[in-house]
A = this chain, B = another copy of it.
């Protein structure tokens, strides 16, 4: 890849066959690779070619080689507002790690219980980039960006119902964050959030 980052294969719209053929090509080039949004059948097709590839069922990511590179650059912190935001947060976490950053995860720090996020302030301030995954009202990035000097990568999730409109409500909240320093990515785009955070925290 032109930018030194792993090649990413978005598997959602692809058959197991197509993913298998892509895995073969990447294996031939010994290309560092991330397969995102995998289903069970994709994992099998990849393992047939790259048997030691690492698979994370929550993040729906397969990575090869299985061990992330030695971390460089600044630390990345990933926050999930609620437990239901975990898959997106985990996708961001692993992406940041496989792109070469030190990355950690904190779950269940939504704004309805402020003490939980306030208890994390020192850790927040130590990060070079913070990813915040939140659905429903999507209010957490506004609060976090008001507490730190580093950029906040906000990823709205499709968690919620009714007027959450599959993540649209959270997306709009984040685009209108009343604190500056919020970088928004697409709904449920944990991969993009982790990638952007890794770029921001690059050495």
Residues of chain A whose beta carbon lies under 8 Å from any beta carbon of chain B: 2-5, 8, 10, 12-14, 18, 81-84, 110-114, 118, 136-139, 142-143, 145-151, 153, 156, 158-189, 191-192, 195-196, 199-200, 202
Contact = CB atoms under 8 A, between A and B. Distances in A.
A169 B173 contact: yes
A13 B166 CA distance: 13
Q: How many copies does the complex hold?
A: 8
Contacts of A177: 112, 136-137
B175 A186 contact: yes
Nearest to A9: B83
A143 B114 contact: yes
6 contacts: A5-B180, A137-B178, A139-B178, A162-B171, A163-B187, A172-B173
Contacts of A173: 137-139, 169, 172-173
A163 B183 contact: no
Contacts of A136: 176-178
Given A13-B159, A162-B175, A153 B82 contact: no
A168 B111 CA distance: 21
Contact of A180 (B4, B12, B191): B191
A151 B114 contact: no
A148 B3 contact: yes
